[in-house]
């Protein structure tokens, strides 16, 4: 088992014992299983899925970092700490806001002749988050 904790600037969103976690990294989706090697991953935007007692659940997140560790006191086999800029659960999905975010990010791409790598990563994160929410 893994201990999954998701925290935003507003506070704790989730704290649960899970079987696995799949998260959107900036370089692509990654999965964490018990006994995973320690890692620090920069998150993109999209769907964070996890399994609790063979039931798939999800939270949608936008940006942040994930710390994977093992041998903590809370979970002998490992833990995943997600520090996210923003999250939305299935119950609080705001598809209108997601559509507005997507349109604004796409407009920024269209009007800019030059976009820095940092700005492009942020735009991609916003689009990925918005598309995940819209497809939920």
Q: pTM here?
A: 0.83
Task: Calculate mean pLDDT across residues 64-85.
Answer: 82
Q: What is the pLDDT of residue 77?
A: 74
The predicted pLDDT at position 76 comes to: 61
pLDDT band at 75 (very low <50, low <70, confident <90, very high): very low
Q: Torsion over CA of 11, 14, 17 and 20, rounded to 10 degrees?
A: -120
CATH superfamily to which 2-92 belongs: F0F1 ATP synthase delta/epsilon subunit, N-terminal (2.60.15.10)
* Residue range 4-40, pLDDT digits in tens: 999 999 999 999 999 999 999 999 999 999 888 899 9
Cβ contact 7:13 at 8 Å: yes
């Amino acid at each position: 088992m893994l201990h999954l904790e998701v925290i935003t600037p507003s506070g704790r969103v989730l704290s649960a014992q899970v079987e696995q976690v799949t998260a959107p990294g900036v370089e692509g989706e990654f999965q964490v299983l018990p006994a995973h090697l320690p890692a620090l991953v920069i998150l993109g935007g999209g769907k964070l899925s996890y399994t609790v007692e063979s039931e798939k659940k999800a939270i949608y997140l936008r940006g942040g970092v994930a710390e994977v560790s093992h041998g903590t006191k809370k979970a002998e086999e490992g833990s995943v700490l997600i520090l996210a800029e923003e999250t939305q659960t299935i119950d609080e999905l705001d598809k209108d806001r997601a559509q507005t975010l997507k349109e604004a990010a796409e407009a920024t791409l269209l009007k800019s002749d030059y976009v820095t790598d940092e700005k492009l990563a942020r735009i991609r994160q916003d689009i990925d988050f918005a598309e995940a929410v819209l497809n939920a």
